[in-house]
């Protein structure tokens, strides 16, 4: 298998070599599942360095959205959501958006009048 910098990597090291030092086990296992799901079957030689960079970036977008509540463009979110379909993450946090908070405030305010 070819790593992001073009050197050959042993199968056992893929995808563990892409774990960030700041990722806890729960975050890493979710992102690892995302990465593994989209690596071509076999030895992965069909995964070019450019495609690998794109996959790693998309996995970070998905993990950042899921665990940190980061938001991205609708097109990007649609893409990563589709790519992650079926990956189950236990105890994923739920984030309330500003729009959801404002909607609740308006609903409560209107109900009191």
Asked whether residue 27 is domain-assigned, the answer is: yes
Share of the chain above pLDDT 90, in %: 50
Total-model pTM:
0.72
101 versus 61: which is more confidently predicted? Answer: 61
Residue position matching structure tokens 């009191």: 112
**Does residue 99 lie in a domain region?**
yes
Q: Is 3 contained in some domain?
A: no
Residue 47 lies in domain: 11-112
- The span from the CA of 14 to the CA of 32, in Å, is 10
Tell me the HSE value of 12 on the side-chain side, using a 13 A CA sphere: 0
Please give the tally of structural domains in the chain. 1
pLDDT in tens, 51-100: 999 999 999 999 999 999 899 999 999 999 999 999 998 887 777 777 77
In a domain, 5, yes or no: no
Query: Cβ–Cβ contacts within 10 Å for residue 77, how many?
Result: 15
Residue 54, in any domain of the structure: yes
Residue 28 has a CB neighbour count (10 Å cut-off) of 17
Instruction: Please give the Cα distance from 25 to 31 (Å, whole number).
Output: 10
Element (H or E) spanning 104, and its range?
helix 98-112
């Amino acid at each position: 298998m070819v790593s992001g910098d073009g050197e050959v990597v042993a199968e056992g090291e893929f995808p563990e070599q892409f774990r960030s030092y700041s990722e806890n086990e729960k975050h890493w296992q979710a992102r690892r599942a995302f990465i593994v799901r989209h690596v071509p079957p076999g030895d992965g030689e069909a995964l070019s360095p450019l495609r690998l960079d794109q996959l790693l970036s998309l996995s970070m977008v998905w993990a950042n959205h899921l665990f940190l509540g980061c938001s991205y463009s609708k097109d990007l979110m649609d893409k990563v959501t589709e790519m992650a379909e079926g990956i189950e993450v236990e105890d994923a946090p739920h984030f309330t958006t500003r729009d959801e908070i404002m909607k609740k405030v308006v609903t409560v305010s209107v109900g009191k009048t």
